[in-house]
Amino acid sequence: MTYLSEPVLLVENLSLTFPDANRASGHNVLSNLTFDLRKGEVLGIVGDSGSGKTMTALAVAGLLPENAEVTSGRIMFDGKDLLKLKPSDRRKLLGDKIGMIFQEPLSSFNPLMTIGKHLNEVLTSHSNPLLPKEHADGRKSRILEMLAHVGFTDPLRIYNAFPHQISGGQRQRALIAGTLLLKPTLLIADEPTTALDTVTQSQIVDQLKRISRSFNLSVLFISHDLMLVERICDRVAVMHNRRIVELETPKDILHSPTHPHTAKLIRSARAVRTPRVKQETNYSDDNPPLIQIKGLNTGYNDSIFFGASRYHEVLRDVNIDIYPGEILGLIGSSGCGKTTLTRVLTGLISATNGTITENGRIMADFSQRKKMKRCSVGLVFQDPYNSLNPAKTISWLLEEPLRIHGICDRIERKTRVLQMLSDVGLGSKYQHYYPHQLSGGQRQRVALAVSLMLSPSLIIADEPVSALDASVQAQILELLFKINREKGVAFLFISHNLSVVRSICHRVAIMDDGRIVEAGAIDEVFDKPSTVVASNLLKAETNYHPRSNRTIDSQ
């Protein structure tokens, strides 16, 4: 194994502060960090948000914000202390020797340049003395070779594609190819798969591991997902409260955690994924459906050239019933039309064909150009940092639905807001806060409260927990459950994470390429999927968390 090889990166006693005008000591972000990374090793860093894992990555890459202050320690790389290098030398090192990939691959690309052009630029702008001056043809063949290396079967198509023409997973792989072109010795990956769906996630992680082996590349892999880290890493560092509390092999960490925080992380990671006994709800199949969707077709015109356009079908003949008080899971890979379905249901876009009925009343009949009436559907988005207006206070946001519909007067509004805040588990002091003063989990509670204000009969939750830490995920799911039980609100729960779906949903619908391919009671579909698509999806998830499943079974 590679453990005995020499360290490529050695971080010793690193402490970092941000000067704070209100405090003499400043705002500590890292304290006394010590770890090493050996040649060809994949070292994972896990921790909740705010634990300092991104700051560690930025410190190694030399991309710290200007006002950050290193108070002690050194970062040895390639025999040099990175903290003592001149900024220009440091920049040269980043790219040539240290590669970095980020969470959101789209923002790393210029939309007007093809992938090939981006990768060419990588080669031309870094005049690496070790590389011979190459001609355009030579560069192209090297790029194609590298694209094949990161798992593309048709590198030439990717070479000529624009960033928006390829999927998120492909973009992330193209980005990895770009950083590998310069043959770095260290790759820093900051949450590289968080924005991707399960199937793609597992592909990228496998790819990364294989690349690390074949190029003898050291990887610093940062993630909040303990199970994902376990899958790829040789050793794992657990960060908590700005320091590393444990640094061990993944096996040791998972089976005999020594630090209480590690144990807590493992517990909550499992809690999210452990199937549990379904609580009592007032859901029953015998009731007539709450929302009935029949023969829904949607598409958009993709204009190609002046007037010419091509019709893209997104939803094809979608039929689905949602019963009062149930939690219906909706799963499917990215781009299968889940989000479009939620947009149609909430009336944000129109469909071309089909009907939607609520409690037997026709809400929309798109074939007769009858637009969607505002029906009682609420929506909770995936990203809690984006779904609350940053310029307004929490109480203003919660009052807004009541205010615009003139439902009740000022005083009544205030009492309802306080009641709703306590319903979603927030104290009354939060009413005066602005969204940026809240954590991700708290924001998601507020987002849920906003959509509950008009007492809807259905709430669509579009990946409501995937942007949150594992421990917070469990709390939010608990809250969804509680609201479903106490208020009898039906949920359409969209997720990539199948074990979450299994643990909280009564029924599940599987979507593929704009169609509902399978729907039924959760255990039936999960245990005996009747279609190929469904069984493929379920397999990808099992591959993704092999050991977590095993540990659960053995308990």
> What is the closest distance, in whole angstroms, from the C-beta atom of residue 394 to another protein in the complex?
13
> What is the closest distance, in whole angstroms, from the C-beta atom of residue 506 to another protein in the complex?
25
Neighbours of 24 (CB within 10 A): 7
Residue indicated by tokens 């941000």:
18
> What is the closest distance, in whole angstroms, from the C-beta atom of residue 401 to another protein in the complex?
4
Residue indicated by tokens 């960090």:
33
Residues 490 and 322 sit within 8 Å (Cβ to Cβ): yes
Residues 424 and 360 sit within 8 Å (Cβ to Cβ): no
| Nearest to another protein of 52, 514 (CB atom) | 52
d(CA 555, CA 274): 11
> What is the closest distance, in whole angstroms, from the C-beta atom of residue 370 to another protein in the complex?
18
- Mark out the alpha helices in 126-197 (DSSP H runs): 136-149, 155-160, 168-180
Residues 250 and 229 sit within 8 Å (Cβ to Cβ): yes
d(CA 433, CA 520): 42
Choose among 452, 378, 453: nearest CA to 412: 453
> What is the closest distance, in whole angstroms, from the C-beta atom of residue 386 to another protein in the complex?
5
| Nearest to another protein of 17, 357 (CB atom) | 17
Residue indicated by tokens 């290098």:
85
| Nearest to another protein of 348, 362 (CB atom) | 348
Distance in angstroms between the alpha carbons of the first and the last residue of the chain: 30
Residues 517 and 319 sit within 8 Å (Cβ to Cβ): no
d(CA 444, CA 467): 10
Choose among 521, 500, 169: nearest CA to 510: 521
d(CA 249, CA 237): 9
**Phi, psi (degrees; rounded to nearest 5) at 294:** -125, 125
Q: What is the 3-state secondary structure (H, E, C) of 509-554?
A: EEEECCEEEEEEEHHHHHHCCCCHHHHHHHHHHHHHCHHHHHHHHH
| Nearest to another protein of 19, 138 (CB atom) | 19
Q: Within the chain, how many helices (H) and strands (E) appear?
A: 19, 20
Q: To 10 degrees, what angle do helices 532-544 and 198-215 make?
A: 50
- Which residues fall within 8 angstroms of residue 110, CB to CB, at 6 or more apart? 118, 163
> What is the closest distance, in whole angstroms, from the C-beta atom of residue 387 to another protein in the complex?
4
> What is the closest distance, in whole angstroms, from the C-beta atom of residue 542 to another protein in the complex?
32
| Nearest to another protein of 182, 454 (CB atom) | 454
| Nearest to another protein of 262, 451 (CB atom) | 451
> What is the closest distance, in whole angstroms, from the C-beta atom of residue 18 to another protein in the complex?
6
> What is the closest distance, in whole angstroms, from the C-beta atom of residue 65 to another protein in the complex?
5
Residue ranges in contact with another protein by CB under 8 A: 18-21, 27, 49-50, 54-55, 65-67, 346-348, 374, 377-379, 381, 383, 386-392, 400-401, 404-405, 447, 450-451, 453-454
| Nearest to another protein of 65, 132 (CB atom) | 65
- Which residues fall within 8 angstroms of residue 59, CB to CB, at 6 or more apart? 11, 14, 16, 30, 70, 75
| Nearest to another protein of 18, 300 (CB atom) | 18
| Nearest to another protein of 372, 480 (CB atom) | 372
Residues 36 and 97 sit within 8 Å (Cβ to Cβ): no
> What is the closest distance, in whole angstroms, from the C-beta atom of residue 53 to another protein in the complex?
9
| Nearest to another protein of 53, 171 (CB atom) | 53
